[in-house]
Amino acid sequence: MTISDADPPAGGNRTKGTRRRAATSVPYSAPEFRPPSAVVRVDVAARSERGASRASNDDHYLAVRLERSQETIATSLSDIDIPEAFHEYGYAMLVADGIGEGGAGSVASRVALSTIAHLALDHGRWNLRINPDTVMDIMARAEQFYSRADAEVFARSRADTPLAGMSTSLTAAYSAGDSLFVAHVGHSRAYLFREGALTQLTRDQTMARHIASSKIPVAVERSAQDLQHILTDAIGAGPNAPVVEVEQFKLKHGDSVLLCTNGLTDVIDDAQMAEVLALPRQSAEQCALLVEMAQQQQTADNITVVLGQYRVPR
C-alpha cells in the first residue's frame, strides 16, 4: 500500500467518493526534543592526598561522563527534514577507600574501580532517559556490578599472598538528567548539598553504627578494619557478598553531590563542609579547600573528595 492508497471499506469496494490520503511534501514536524539528559550540566572535580599517618594513599577515585549523540554525516534531505545534532549525557563519580597493609589497600580500591569501569563499558546500557523501567534496570545493574567488583577483589587477594585480606569501601553516584542514583558499601560517604543544607545520602556500614542502631553484635572479617573503623561490609572482605545499598534521589538546580573518604569526615564535621560548599566556587576549588582543611587538622587517614555541581534548567 502506498501513502496515497487507503484500504477499501470493509465488505465492499472503494467507491468513487472514497477519501484518499493525500501525499504531502510538508516535513515531519515535532516539538523540540530536549530530555533532561540533554540540558543538565555538571561541573566535576576531584582531589586526593595522603593522610598524616599513612605511608601511601590507598584511596582511588573515578569520574566519567557518558555521552550519546546523533549527528547527520551525509544526506540528500534539506535541513528542515532532519533533526539538528543532538547530545545527551550521564555522569558517574566513584570513590574507593582501600584497606590492607603494604599498599594492598591501594590495589583493592584500584581493582574495584577498574572492574566497575570495564563492566559499564562492556555491559552497561547507558540509560540516560529515566523512567520506571530504566530505574529498576539501573539499580539492578549497580548491584550486579558491585557483586562482580567484590568477587574480583576477593579473588585477587586469594591469589597473591602479599595482598591477602585486602578490601575496600566503594561509593558511587550516577546521574542522568535530574535523577541521581547512589550505590554504597563501607564507610566512604555521599552527601547532597542543597540551599545551604548538607544531607548524608549513605549510611556508614561500621560496627559503631550497627551497634548504635540495633544493639546486636555482628561478625566482621578482620580485613574490613582500618585505623579507626571496623566495617560490617566491604568489597572483597570475605566469601559472603556485602550488603549493597542503592537509592534514587531527585536533583534540583544548584545542587552539589559530594563523595568523600573518611580522611575528611573523621576531622571535618557536616557544618564545616556546608560552610565551604555554600560559597560560589568552582568544583576544583571546593575540593582543594576541603582537602586542605582536613590536612590542617592532621587527619590520620587518606583524604579523597569528588564533587559535582549541577545546573538543572528550571
Q: For 249-280, how does the pLDDT look when each residue is reduced to its tens digit (9 = 90+)?
A: 999 999 999 999 999 999 999 999 999 999 99
Q: For 180-227, how does the pLDDT look when each residue is reduced to its tens digit (9 = 90+)?
A: 999 999 999 999 999 999 999 999 887 665 555 555 555 545 445 554
Q: Which of 113, 92, 105, 185 is nearest to 143 (CA)?
A: 185
CB 156 within 8 A of CB 163: yes
Quote the cell numbers at residue 2: 502506498
Q: Which domains does the chain have, with CATH numbers?
A: 38-311 (3.60.40.10)
Which DSSP category does 79 fall into?
G
Sheet architecture: strand order including 245-250: 59-70, 86-99, 167-176, 179-185, 245-250
Mean pLDDT, the chain, whole residue set: 85
Instruction: Please tell me the distance from the alpha carbon of residue 98 to that of residue 143, in angstroms, as a whole number.
Output: 19
- Beta bridge partners, 88, equal 68
Question: How much is the pTM?
Answer: 0.83
Q: For residue 194, what pLDDT is reported?
A: 97
pLDDT at residue 285 above 60? yes
Instruction: Please tell me the distance from the alpha carbon of residue 37 to that of residue 130, in angstroms, as a whole number.
Output: 9
Neighbours of 288 (CB within 10 A): 16
Neighbours of 4 (CB within 10 A): 10
**Between these two residues, 11 and 87, which has the higher pLDDT value?**
87
Q: For 127-179, how does the pLDDT look when each residue is reduced to its tens digit (9 = 90+)?
A: 888 998 899 999 999 999 999 999 999 999 999 999 998 999 999 999 999 99
Instruction: Spell out the alpha helix ranges (H) of 8-131.
Output: 36-39, 104-123
